């Protein structure tokens, strides 16, 4: 396989197609053109209104009056807008074999969203998240130590995938032995989200999700009879006061895939993958990071999320007619909020394409969203990134791509950015030079992780 791919540099707006796999490999030239020439661009293929500038996206995310997360009141969701008949056939498949997923936390507006989010806020209280530091740390070092003496690995499969999956699985009370089964289900879900499947492939994704539903349904039923101290038990049993009921099976199944296992693992996996790629491509940054991780590691984690956003873009619906940059966005229109374009906006960031460990306000990006829908799991994701790279620093002196084994191609997806593999070789530190993870000061790091420098 080739070591790299030739990025597409569009010559005009007409050449931009975010459903083009080749453009997805390197969309940043297209993002720059859109920011400069059409900050609100009507995509002729999808009909989406694509917004790309940082300040516009920040305002849009904070304006819940004009921009809704509830897609049911307009032209339908992203998939429905592209092919409503196909969407109905997929819905019928859920009805026949499983449970039609209810609205997720991310797909609700206040006050409905606020009431449901309160349940998750309890589970993600700062003290609870801080209390997970030792588990996240120990998991990172355990995974690293399993392959570090081999001198090579597939960084994605052996490290970036299992780390966040094991952590979210622990929160949900799922056996570690089942994480690869769950990974197959989340992969299928993510592929469907990406809107690039044939109808036969999308049917496969739906059937995989239904398989996951039948895995979780007996667990829901057991937890209703025998509650425990897991987040999943809380989700199953907690009565939402304003609703005067707990979540239904349909709502629980939606949450399991979208907001817990996909939201709680997939994006962190992608950031860990691209973070390592950036370090190999920027050896001076690696040397600087190793020289003083206490000073630079948190900034590095923020830069990874900013530069190679695992979430390239998500959606809002226009709740009213609204004009931006001279473009009328009609009520009911689907808006593609392109976070990854905003995070490289030269109007907001100096030398935005550079990985800069001295960057001021490194936490000022929209990689975790903003406003009432700011990613609930951001504190946990930051912990996973921190310990993932702290373990790397403590175990490895140098690393490089395995020659001839990497294409660096992304998995085809309109919304997310993920490498499928990353084969590397590395020089492991001698056993006598390796840091004992138990010696790392958890308390001081926990405080720093939650407060990225100058965020």
> pLDDT digit string (tens) for 110-159?
888 888 888 777 767 777 788 889 999 999 999 999 999 999 999 999 99
At 410 the pLDDT is 93
The DSSP symbol for 159 reads: I
Cβ distance 260 to 320 under 8 Å? no
Domains of the chain and any CATH numbers:
13-449 (1.10.630.10)
CA gap 80, 88 in Å, rounded: 8
Burial of 229 (0-12, 13-18, 19+ CB in 10 A): exposed
With residue 135 as reference, give the H or E element that holds it.
Answer: helix 133-147
Task: List, run by run, the mean pLDDT of 10-residue segments along the chain (455 residues).
Answer: 62 94 94 98 96 98 94 51 83 96 87 81 75 92 97 98 95 92 95 93 96 96 94 89 90 90 92 98 98 96 96 96 98 97 97 96 92 87 96 97 94 94 96 85 60 53
CA gap 279, 293 in Å, rounded: 13
Pairing of strands 40-42, 49-51: antiparallel
CA gap 434, 59 in Å, rounded: 46
CA gap 412, 197 in Å, rounded: 9
Place of tokens 């907690």: 238
In Å, what is the CA distance from 58 to each residue of 106, 111, 122, 319, 435?
17, 21, 26, 17, 41
């Amino acid at each position: 396989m080739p070591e790299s791919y030739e990025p597409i540099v569009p010559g005009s707006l007409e050449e931009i197609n975010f459903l083009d796999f080749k453009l997805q490999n390197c969309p940043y030239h297209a993002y720059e053109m859109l920011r400069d020439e059409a900050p609100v661009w009507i995509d002729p293929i999808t009909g989406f209104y694509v917004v790309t500038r940082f300040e516009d996206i920040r305002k849009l995310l904070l304006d819940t009056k004009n921009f809704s997360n509830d897609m049911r009141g307009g032209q339908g969701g992203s998939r429905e807008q592209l092919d409503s008949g196909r969407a109905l056939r997929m819905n019928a498949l859920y009805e026949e074999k499983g449970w039609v997923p209810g609205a997720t936390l991310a797909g609700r507006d206040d006050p409905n969203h606020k009431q449901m989010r309160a349940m998750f806020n309890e589970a993600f209280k700062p003290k609870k998240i801080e209390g997970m530091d030792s588990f996240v740390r120990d998991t990172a070092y355990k995974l690293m130590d399993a392959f570090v003496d081999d001198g090579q690995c597939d960084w994605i499969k052996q490290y970036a995938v299992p780390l966040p999956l094991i952590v979210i699985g622990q929160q949900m009370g799922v056996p570690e032995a089942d994480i690869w089964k769950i990974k197959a289900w989340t992969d299928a879900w993510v592929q469907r989200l990406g809107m690039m499947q044939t109808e036969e492939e999308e049917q496969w994704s739906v059937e995989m999700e239904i398989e996951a539903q039948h895995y979780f349904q007996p667990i829901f039923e057991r937890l209703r009879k025998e509650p425990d101290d897991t987040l999943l038990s809380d989700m199953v049993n907690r009565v939402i006061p304003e609703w005067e009921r707990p979540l239904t099976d349909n709502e629980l199944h939606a949450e399991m895939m979208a907001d817990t296992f996909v939201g709680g693992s997939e994006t962190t996996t992608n950031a860990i993958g691209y973070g390592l790629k950036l370090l190999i491509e920027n050896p001076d940054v690696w040397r600087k990071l190793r020289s003083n991780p206490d000073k630079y590691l948190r900034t590095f984690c923020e830069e990874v999320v900013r530069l190679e956003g695992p979430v390239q873009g998500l959606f809002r619906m226009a709740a009213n007619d609204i004009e931006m940059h001279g473009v009328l966005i009609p009520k009911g229109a689907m808006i593609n909020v392109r976070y990854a374009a905003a995070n490289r906006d030269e109007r907001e960031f100096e030398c935005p394409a550079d990985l800069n460990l001295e960057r001021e306000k490194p936490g000022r990006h929209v990689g975790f969203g903003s406003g009432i829908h700011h990613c609930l799991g951001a504190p946990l994701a930051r912990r996973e990134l921190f310990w993932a790279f702290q373990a790397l620093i403590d175990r490895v002196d140098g690393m490089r791509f395995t020659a001839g084994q990497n294409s660096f191609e992304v998995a085809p997806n309109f919304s997310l950015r993920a490498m499928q593999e990353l084969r590397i070789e590395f020089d492991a530190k001698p056993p006598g030079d390796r840091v004992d993870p138990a010696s790392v000061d958890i308390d001081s790091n926990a405080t720093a992780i939650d407060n990225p420098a100058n965020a």
